[in-house]
Structures are given as C-alpha cells and as structure tokens.
Amino acid sequence: MNPIAIVSAMHDELSKVLELMPDEQKQIRAGREFWLGHLHNQAVVVVLSGIGKVAAATTATLLIEHFGVDRILFTGVAGALGQDVKIGDMVIADSFLHHDLDASPLFPRYEIPGYGTSTLKADENLTHQLVQACNYVLTHLPSDMDAGVIETFSLQSPQLHQGLVVSGDCFVSSARASQQLQTELPLALAVEMEGAAFAQVCHDYGIPFAAVRTMSDKADDEATLDFTRFLAEVASHFSMRVVDRWLFSLNTAP
Ligand code: ADE
C-alpha cells in the first residue's frame, strides 16, 4: 500500500498530528524532515512543506517521486476573505488559483501558461471525505480547549465553508490588499501561500489532492495579531482532529 501524505506549512499546524504517531521514523530530504509511520493502520508520511509556493512544489514533488504517496492532504491556516468567513471557521478548497500569477498580455490574468485554465480542482472524493471529517470535528469541538482561547478567538460556533482558495507568495496583512483581492476575485474564501502549488504538482502527476484551512486571521491590518497563539492553541488542535477523524473513517469504510 502506498502511503498517504499529510502536510502543513508550519510546525505548530502539524505538531499534534506527529504526537499521534506511535512509530514515526525521520528521513531528511532537501532539508525537510519527512516522518514515516502509521495512523489508524494507514501508512503515512507527515511533512512540513515550508512556507510559500516554491517550498510547496518541492515538497509535493518529493512526496510523489521519492516517497510514492498516492494522495496528499494539506491542513493548515489561512486568511479569511469575505464577510461570511470568520476567524476559527474552516474552509475546504474545491479549487485553487495563483492570485499572484499574471502572464498578461500573453495569457489572461491568473491563467497558468500551458494549462488553459486559472483554477485547479481539488480531488472530489478526497474532498468529500474531508467535508465529513471536518463536520464531525466542528460538531465535537475540543473539550480540552481552554475556555479563554474559545473566548479570545470567538470560536463558539465555527462554520465550514467550501470554495475557492487562492495562493500567492505573500502574507496578506492589510485591509487594502485584502479588499483588492476580494474585488478582483470575489469567489475567493481564503488566502494562503501553498495550496495552488500543491494542486498544480498533483495535477501534473495525477495524484489526488485536498486541503482544509482554519481561518487564523482576516488578512487585514490585524492579521499578525495573535497569529502564533492561534497556531499553537487552535489550529494545531483542529488539524490533529481532522486528520485523526479522516484516517479513522478510511479505516472503518467498507
Ligand atoms: N496564512 C494565514 N493567514 C494568511 C494571510 N493573511 N495571508 C497569506 N497566508 C496566510
């Protein structure tokens, strides 16, 4: 059986997933630590992609070429776009777009040269499984989560959204930049720095890819406020629970 890849950009997004693995073994490739082991009887490779699209593309290629993974799940944080998406909500990507790609006038803005499209689709089956896992997690919110944390981040009733996730090599941290993105890409629900790169590499290799992001900020002037705390105290719990539930459901599926 080929292993499944579980990926995040930053350590705090993945630390609790690693804690779940009883038998992990480390392999270093291209300066990255790949953790090989098992979760719910599934062979997994857990890795930090690093931040940004180039780091993501290198990691995705290594996972496929060297570790032979047969699907990739990305879990992490993102900036929320639009009125309806709040901090603490989860966004599952149904498609990805490089918001900083512009080869005009040779190609329409955002179009990936040679692909004839600007959007890359998430794998339907994997995404469906992810929706079920996230719904479960959101309806069974962590009982071990500090009441102060729930209060600080207004996590009383986080919602699940599904739609377009946009990626670029910049941390969006001003109301102006966020507003511009929303005007130019009104369908975008979340902004991050790796998803579209993973989706493109996975598209090239024909490997199923899905991603879920917990909203850590509104991609505005307050985006960096409490970011580290959110990662450690909220995102890490959410990631671990989603991965745990998803792999559990694969294991128990008929
Ligand atoms: N990841 C989390 N928040 C983000 C933001 N505001 N911009 C880009 N990537 C992010």
Q: Which of 13, 94, 192, 194 is catalytic?
A: 13
Q: Give dist(CA 7, CA 220) in Å, integer.
A: 26
Please, what sign has the CA dihedral across residues 15, 147, 227, 218?
Answer: positive
- Give pLDDT, residue 144: 62
Cα(79) to centroid(ligand 1), Å = 4
> Is the per-residue pLDDT at 246 higher than 80?
yes
User: Sorting pLDDT into bands at 50, 70 and 90, what band is 254?
Assistant: low
The pLDDT of 52-60, averaged and rounded, is 98
| 3-class secondary-structure state, position 98 | strand
Helices and strands per DSSP (H, E), number in the chain = 8, 10
- CB-defined site of ligand 1, < 6 Å: 77-79, 171-173, 191-193, 216-217, 219, 223
Mean pLDDT of the chain: 92
Nearest-atom number in ligand 1 for the CA of 170 is 8
Q: Give dist(CA 116, CA 95) in Å, integer.
A: 15
- Give pLDDT, residue 143: 63
Cα(167) to centroid(ligand 1), Å = 9
Asked about 94 being catalytic, the answer comes back as no
Cα(78) to centroid(ligand 1), Å = 5
User: Sorting pLDDT into bands at 50, 70 and 90, what band is 82?
Assistant: confident
The pLDDT of 2-11, averaged and rounded, is 93
**Residue 85 is encoded by which pair of tokens?**
């998406």
- 105 preceded by a cis bond (ω within 30 of 0): yes
Q: How many CA atoms lie within 13 A of 150 on its CB side?
A: 10
Cα(128) to centroid(ligand 1), Å = 24
> Is the per-residue pLDDT at 9 higher than 80?
yes
Q: In this structure, how many other beta carbons lie within 10 angstroms of the beta carbon of residue 1?
A: 7
Asked about 222 being catalytic, the answer comes back as no
